[in-house]
Chain A
Amino acid sequence: MSGDLVNLLADLKDKEVLELVKQRLDAGEDPLKILEDSRKGMEIVGKRFADDEYFLPELVFSGELLKQVTELVKPHLKQAVETKKLGKVVIGTVAGDIHDIGLNIVIFMLDVNGFEVYNLGVDVPAEAFVNKVKETGAPILGLSGFLTPAFEAMKETVEAIEAAGIRDKVKIMIGGGQLDEDISKYAKADAYGKNAMAAVALAKGWVGAK
């Protein structure tokens, strides 16, 4: 039964997923187990995305489906969910850029791969990144940017991290539409990730996970 939910979610069978969740809740099953199955289902979605089997539409759709599952389960939860996370990542689109399609893909993939993601949104000033990294102690900072204004903004953000004296405590990765290795060097980031899978690989490498 529990295996079903994992696969139904991974296969994006929305009606069956919601029906099964209701059935299991009605049967008095531990809601945490349902959430755990959902997490496993989303992990498969992430894997299929990494394997070019799924693309953005499937991520969007599965995300909506998960939201609906969570809504159903929430009233039945007695304790907060605690899952072991691989590590914290602070992420956002740099100042002067309001794009977030790529950002959201990376967040999705980091999340399903076990990272605790702090999303600061778009057009994020350098100080906001500095403050969030300090506050969370996150060892990883992800800077997203789509257009050319991001080149300077990324450089300025890395400089702000340096000026705050925390550059040695945080690894910085950059990614997005018009970026490449050259901008990673230009901005003095630690790495450029070509896509969301690269971001996950970089983050895993930095926290020493497989």
Chain B
Amino acid sequence: MNMEKKWADLSWEEKREERFKRWLGPDVTFSSPEAEKLYKERVTRFIKAIKLEEPDRVPVILPAGNIPAYLAGGNLKTVMYDYDELRRAWLKFLHEFEMDTFIGPGLVFPGKVLETIDFKLEKWPGHGLADDIESYQFVESEYVKAEEYDKLIKDPSDFWLRTFMPRAMGACKAFEKLPQLTAFIGIPVFYLAYFADPEIQAAYKKLMDAGVETMKWMEVVNDVSRQSIEAGLPSFWGGMSGAPFDMIGDMLRGTHGIMMDMFQRPDKLHEAMERMVPIAIDEAVAGANASGCPIIVMPLHKGTGGFMSNKQYETFYWPTFKKILLGLIDEGLVPMPFAEGNYESRLEIIKDMPRSSMIWWFEHMDMAKAKKILGNTACIAGNVPVTALCTSTPQDVKERCRKLIEVCAPGGGYILTGGATMDRGNPDNLRAVMEAAKEYGVYKR
């Protein structure tokens, strides 16, 4: 870290260079000099693409979701509950596929932990979904009522503990009974009595148990990540964030609720979203500091084209989302929103960002149009259709990649990947993506 100038005094580009340096030189012992060389080449390939420069060739994020579980003979359920299997499956994938970056199993959540806390916001295979389903799915609902915005606005932490946790986690239902825990006046004796409540004690005990179980899972996740870096494969998943409109719409109010709020209490909605901004930035920074990778993945949901008008997007979605993007950039991080659905109608809005400060990953998108409008601003990534990845042939996938490279690669600023990730299907379709990059994506010197 640059000690001559204080962190806060550095420009965002200088901070980013510091983070890139750390990404380029991780604190591991590489398995061989060759692995180290490949690691640096790969990270450099991505950094150049982010900076809108031409790398040696088009970098690839293999669009592999939970497919390692299936290729190892199991399924999502088996690896959610058996961490040794999780390790085996992901390491097998690591050694059998050629890639530029390896996505570790950090998004395969530990089933036992979710069960222990009785998590209400997701269904997963064997728990609300059939055993062989390859993804967990979000359970949307109006967990928080319209009149509860004020609690969130007043004190997000208190809201989280006493209002949201009891509803999102069955194990924490008793937290409803907790008093406000900020005793700024005097010695905090009286509220300690609440911790004698057997239900509250039981809830904390469940959280402690879940914590211990989470550590078992994290050891595996960290071990796989370390092994992948040692083998020369960088991470591209440094932390996570999102847009405040989605945080409230997905988790708290539901689609129906938040869309009613746009009409009935827009001011509260705006205020609540503003409250989320610094919290979300801090969370992403902490993630990136821990991982050493500066890329912040941001799955976007409810601002997609067709869901709201450009005017609504500019009024409700973009302003606080942009604040988070700028906040992350200012910390030297590289936001990578994954724009679910079709973002074509938003291109003119989202191009208003500092040059080469971020990556836009698109699902459905006319990539020629994206290149034309965003090409001078942001690195773009995408978008081999997940339908083709899951159901088509390697030849077809390769041809689609060739066309994408032809359109998006010139001048740099392009990462080849899927429109979404593949959980099941022909693994040769993944190999075809890498083959295409090597065959068609080399930049002439």
- Per the 8 Å Cβ criterion, residues 125-163 of B in contact with A are 128-130, 133-135, 137, 139
A180 touching B387, Cβ below 8 Å: yes
- The reply to whether the CB of B29 lies closer than 8 angstroms to some CB of chain A is no
Which A residues touch B391, using CB under 8 A?
151, 182-183, 186
Which B residues touch A14, using CB under 8 A?
263
Closest approach, in angstroms, between the C-beta of B38 and any C-beta of chain A?
31
A55 to B259, CA, bound (A): 10
A55 touching B307, Cβ below 8 Å: yes
- The reply to whether the CB of A64 lies closer than 8 angstroms to some CB of chain B is yes
> A133-153 interface mask toward B, CB cutoff 8 Å, 1 = contact, 0 = none?
000000000000001110100
A182 touching B312, Cβ below 8 Å: no
Question: Which residue of chain B has its CB nearest to the CB of A96?
Answer: B133
B134 touching A12, Cβ below 8 Å: no
Given contacts A151-B391, A195-B306, contact A55 B312 (CB under 8 A): yes
Question: Which residue of chain B has its CB nearest to the CB of A178?
Answer: B386
Closest approach, in angstroms, between the C-beta of B433 and any C-beta of chain A?
16
A148 touching B259, Cβ below 8 Å: no
B308 touching A55, Cβ below 8 Å: yes
- The reply to whether the CB of A57 lies closer than 8 angstroms to some CB of chain B is yes
Closest approach, in angstroms, between the C-beta of A121 and any C-beta of chain B?
13
A60 to B256, CA, bound (A): 6
- Interface-lining segment among B52-60, B349-357, B365-373, B418-426: B418-426
A148 touching B307, Cβ below 8 Å: no
Question: Which residue of chain A has its CB nearest to the CB of B423?
Answer: A148
- The reply to whether the CB of A73 lies closer than 8 angstroms to some CB of chain B is no
Per a CB cutoff under 8 Å, which of B133, B256, B420, B424 touches A178?
B420
A149 touching B134, Cβ below 8 Å: yes
- The reply to whether the CB of B40 lies closer than 8 angstroms to some CB of chain A is no
- The reply to whether the CB of A11 lies closer than 8 angstroms to some CB of chain B is no
Per a CB cutoff under 8 Å, which of B139, B390, B419, B422 touches A98?
B139
A148 to B132, CA, bound (A): 12
- The reply to whether the CB of A77 lies closer than 8 angstroms to some CB of chain B is no
- Per the 8 Å Cβ criterion, residues 256-277 of B in contact with A are 256, 259-260, 262-263
A61 to B387, CA, bound (A): 33
- Per the 8 Å Cβ criterion, residues 165-185 of A in contact with B are 177-180, 182-183
A177 touching B341, Cβ below 8 Å: yes
Which B residues touch A54, using CB under 8 A?
309
- Per the 8 Å Cβ criterion, residues 81-118 of A in contact with B are 95-99, 101
A14 to B263, CA, bound (A): 10
Question: Which residue of chain A has its CB nearest to the CB of B422?
Answer: A148
- Name B's interface SS: mixed
Question: Which residue of chain B has its CB nearest to the CB of A149?
Answer: B133
Which of B135, B139, B306, B312 counts the most chain A CB atoms within 10 A?
Answer: B306
B123 touching A182, Cβ below 8 Å: no
A167 to B193, CA, bound (A): 67
Closest approach, in angstroms, between the C-beta of A128 and any C-beta of chain B?
14
Which A residues touch B130, using CB under 8 A?
95-96
B308 touching A61, Cβ below 8 Å: no
Per a CB cutoff under 8 Å, which of A98, A151, A186, A195 touches B123?
A98
A147 touching B263, Cβ below 8 Å: no
Closest approach, in angstroms, between the C-beta of A147 and any C-beta of chain B?
6
- The reply to whether the CB of A56 lies closer than 8 angstroms to some CB of chain B is yes
Question: Which residue of chain B has its CB nearest to the CB of A54?
Answer: B309
B263 touching A12, Cβ below 8 Å: yes
A95 to B123, CA, bound (A): 13
- Per the 8 Å Cβ criterion, residues 20-78 of A in contact with B are 52, 54-57, 60-61, 64
A144 to B99, CA, bound (A): 34
A186 to B419, CA, bound (A): 19
A195 to B420, CA, bound (A): 19
A147 to B123, CA, bound (A): 14
A119 to B363, CA, bound (A): 28
Given contacts A96-B130, A148-B422, contact A57 B308 (CB under 8 A): yes
- The reply to whether the CB of B201 lies closer than 8 angstroms to some CB of chain A is no
- The reply to whether the CB of B255 lies closer than 8 angstroms to some CB of chain A is yes
- The reply to whether the CB of B392 lies closer than 8 angstroms to some CB of chain A is yes
Question: Which residue of chain B has its CB nearest to the CB of A195?
Answer: B306
Question: Which residue of chain A has its CB nearest to the CB of B125?
Answer: A96
Closest approach, in angstroms, between the C-beta of B211 and any C-beta of chain A?
29
Given contacts A56-B308, A101-B255, contact A148 B262 (CB under 8 A): no
- The reply to whether the CB of B394 lies closer than 8 angstroms to some CB of chain A is no
Which B residues touch A52, using CB under 8 A?
309
Given contacts A151-B390, A180-B385, A182-B388, contact A61 B263 (CB under 8 A): yes
Closest approach, in angstroms, between the C-beta of A41 and any C-beta of chain B?
16
16 additional contacts (CB under 8 A) given A55-B308, A101-B307: A12-B263, A55-B306, A57-B259, A60-B255, A61-B263, A97-B137, A98-B139, A148-B386, A151-B387, A151-B391, A178-B387, A178-B419, A180-B387, A182-B385, A182-B388, A183-B387
The 3 nearest A-B residue pairs measured at CB: A57-B259, A60-B259, A96-B133
Q: Can you list 7 contacts pairing A with B, beta carbon distance less than 8 Å?
A: A98-B123, A98-B129, A147-B135, A149-B135, A151-B391, A177-B341, A183-B391
On B, residues with C-beta under 8 Å from A are: 123, 128-130, 133-135, 137, 139, 255-256, 259-260, 262-263, 306-309, 312, 340-341, 363, 385-388, 390-392, 419-420, 422-424
On A, residues with C-beta under 8 Å from B are: 12, 14, 52, 54-57, 60-61, 64, 95-99, 101, 123, 147-149, 151, 177-180, 182-183, 186, 195
